[in-house]
Amino acid sequence: MSAIAPSTPSGAHSCYLDFVGSFYFGCSFTAQSCRSAQPGNQPPLFPSINMSGGGSPEGAEIPALYLFSPLWALFGYFLARQKVTTSPPQRRREQRKKSRKQKRGKSKEGSAKPLFLPCRLQPRRQYAIIIKHQKVQKKVFSMLNSEEIIAAIHGSYATGSKNGFQNVLTLLDKMHVALRTPIVHVAGTNGKGSTCAMLESVLRRAGYHTGLYTSPFLQAYQERIRLDGLPLDDARMVKYGNPLVRAAEEMRAEGAFVTPFEMGTALALAAFDGENCDIAIVEVGMGGRKDPTNIVHPILCAITAIGLDHMAYLGNTLEAIAGEKAGIIKDNTPVVCHPAKEGVRRVFAEAAEKHHAPLRQLSDDTILYAACDAHGATVSYRLSQEWQDVRLNLPGAHQIENAMSVLAMVEELRRQGWTIPDQAVYEGLASTVWPARLEWCGRILIDGAHNPQGVRALRNFVEEQLPNQRRVLLTGVLADKLQEDMLRDFCAIADDIVTVTPDNPRALDAQTYADALCQHGAHAQAAKSLEEGLTEAKRLAGDDAVIVAAGSLYFAGSLRTALGLAWR
């Protein structure tokens, strides 16, 4: 310890003590205190030092003490080693932060790696697709683009599993979709897509902001969801697709695995609500009763033509299939039904009675006049009102009955208060475009016929409208769709047939298909690819024959792409 200076002179009234400490392996301090030096007082602990000399009271007197001791170093080390405790609010904040990390999947212990990895980028949660040899790889995007969203939807095919309506309802709940948009729900075996397209065209002409959901797509996924007649654009796909993928990933983490169709349905309903559609038309995927679209509470239902399709899931008779389609009928909701056989009509009547649903079953008696040509038809109907000389832009006699259903639906919507002028009806039906439904591309006729009823309608069309025209058939089918009736009708459509294998896991091999057609008396040959098949069909057709392309919507979509036809 340093020497202590002599005590303060007796005339001094005040002094100051400074304390300055510094640690090395010892410490030094300077102290300053304030005490009056009065006679009889105790001498100060640290007397002053006259820094200006002479001991004069006017000089700056700074008492000083310098301490160097290992004890100070030990004391500092002891303080540094002490555990700093947190307050209860701090502990709660730390626990919430830990819980959020675990929910975001940042704690990976004991859990399987998800299909889509979440990662945190301000200001919102981001995702990346990580499908590569079933190994998880991180890739950070500011936001998934439309192609990545579509890949995510298709990527759920391998793991997806239907769980009644719960998967779709959970997706919509996580996406905060309120289902505010009025819905027209349409089921049926054949013609439901054309019926939906015609009704949407009419409502759009009436000035309504419309939505349309159909399946499958032909060339691009966005075709399935349309706003005001146009496929969903990339910006809206990004806007509604990212919350969809996040919701699906959260469900996956919870042990629920959604299917591509469930994701597509949720995406469509989210877009319709988010874009404030005045009304939307929703087509059933398969059947009706158990279809994911059957979560909607429509203002109107419609059931188009019933035929034998998806029999492994829906039943082997028309009545059984009709029962599944009638599953979309809701309590007190009007329903319009396409002309049908007596057994099917009875099934619809029983379902409507059970749900107290106003039922309107149509018949061909309402058709007053019809004149068809290769590009459409002109028809007159008598329903609740007479519709004179209605021009249909979709070719085929079967579209006459589909248009009848649309007119009946228009009349029902009018009764509910919707404003749909006659002019909007006529213009909407005359301008409806629905690709790959007896669609002409030069001398190539493309049709999505893929079941016995569709192929029979195609055969009737070419026999009526192209009776003296030489025809070449270019065709590809799915293995689970081909039936004997289809083989016979395909053989009747053309003398020369070229088969291809559609780009689909369920496709029937082209050579196997050609062999089956040859067994029914056709002259059929298999092509190794669609391009090769198209080239061969053109060679066989020459300059005078028409090429009829049919067998599958997947095949029709690929052909449209090969021909350079736009999907937007």
| Tens digit of each residue's pLDDT (9 = 90 or more) over 9-29 | 444 444 433 433 444 444 444
Mean of all residue pLDDT scores within the chain: 83
Higher pLDDT, 114 or 73: 73
Domain boundary among the residues 21, 45, 80 is at 80
314 vs 270: which has the higher pLDDT: 270
How large is the average pLDDT for residues 139-149?
77
Amino acid at site 137: Q
pLDDT over 70 percentage in the chain: 75
Task: Label each residue of 520-556 as H, E or C.
Answer: CCCEEEECCCHHHHHHHHHHHHCCCCEEEEECCHHHH
Is position 241 within any domain?
A: no
Q: Which pLDDT score is estimated for 418?
A: 98
Predicted pLDDT at 82: 58
CA 220, CA 225: separation in Å to the nearest integer?
10
Q: Indicate the number of domains in the chain.
A: 2
In a domain, 390, yes or no: no
Return the pLDDT at 96.
67
Lowest-pLDDT range, 128-137, 177-186, 369-378?
Answer: 128-137
User: Looking at residue 524, which CATH number applies to its domain?
Assistant: 3.90.190.20
- For residue 390, pLDDT over 60 is answered with yes
* Tokens representing residue 210 in the block: 């419309």
To the question of pTM greater than 0.85 for the whole model, the response is no
Task: Tell me: pLDDT of 560 over 90.
Answer: yes
Percent of the chain topping pLDDT 90: 70
The span from the CA of 515 to the CA of 512, in Å, is 5
pLDDT at 185 over 90: yes
Q: What is the DSSP string of 490-502?
A: HHHH-SEEEE---
Task: Report the distance separating Cα 541 and Cα 544, nearest Å.
Answer: 7
The rounded distance, in Å, linking the Cα atoms of 479 and 238 is 35
**Is residue 547 domain-resident?**
yes
Q: State the pLDDT at residue 92.
A: 62
pLDDT at residue number 293: 97
Confidence class for position 132, pLDDT limits 50, 70, 90: very low
Lowest mean pLDDT among 113-117, 256-260, 382-386, 408-412: 113-117
- Give Cα separations from 347 to 13, 326, 332 (angstroms): 115, 8, 17
pLDDT digits (tens, 9 = 90+) for 337-368: 999 999 999 999 999 999 999 999 999 999 99
The answer on pLDDT for 3 being more than 50 is no
For residues 446 and 565, give the distance between their C-alpha atoms in angstroms, rounded to a whole number: 12
Q: Which residues pair with 281 in a beta bridge?
A: 184, 212
Among 85-89, 94-98, 134-138, 471-475, whose mean pLDDT is lowest? Answer: 134-138
**Given 46, 80, 114, which residue is the final one in a domain?**
80
User: Which pLDDT band holds residue 116 (cuts at 50, 70, 90)?
Assistant: very low
Instruction: Tell me the sheet residues that pair with 124.
Output: 121
Q: 56 pLDDT exceeds 80?
A: no
Q: Residue 63 is part of which domain span?
A: 1-80
Give 402's DSSP letter.
H
Q: What is the mean pLDDT of residues 36-59?
A: 42
Of 436, 472, 394, 454, the closest CA to residue 553 belongs to 436
**What CA–CA distance (Å, rounded) separates 145 from 235?**
8
Going by pLDDT thresholds of 50, 70 and 90, the confidence category of residue 252 is very high
Residue 496 in any domain: the answer is yes
> Which positions ≥6 away from 231 have C-beta within 8 Å?
220, 222, 223, 224, 225, 567, 568
Q: Is residue 521 part of a domain?
A: yes
Least confident of 33-37, 195-199, 214-218, 262-266: 33-37
Above 80 in pLDDT, residue 130?
Answer: no
Residue 14 to residues 7, 8, 19, 50, 394, Cα–Cα distance (Å): 13, 10, 17, 13, 110
What is the structure's pLDDT at 568? 74
Decide if 518 is inside a domain: yes
Domain final position from 80, 101, 118: 80
Q: For residues 215 and 81, which has the higher predicted lDDT (pLDDT)? A: 215
How far is residue 301's CA from residue 76's CA, in Å, rounded to a whole number?
82
Tell whether the model's pLDDT for residue 494 goes beyond 90: yes
- Look at residue 505 and tell me if it is in a domain: yes
Rounded to whole angstroms, the Cα distance separating 562 from 496 reads 21
**Domain membership flag for residue 119:** no
Average pLDDT estimate for 286-292: 93
Sort strands 225-227 and 376-382 into parallel, antiparallel or unpaired. Answer: unpaired
380-399: average pLDDT = 97
Q: Once rounded to an integer, what is the mean pLDDT over residues 65-80?
A: 59
Closest C-alpha among 175, 153, 171, 156 to residue 239: 175
Element (H, E) at 369: strand 367-373
Per-residue burial over 426-457, b if 16 or more Cβ lie within 10 Å, else e, is: bbbbeebebbbbbbeeeebbbbbbbbbbbbbb
The whole-angstrom separation of Cα 36 and Cα 57 is 13
Which of residues 129 and 473 earns the better pLDDT score? 473
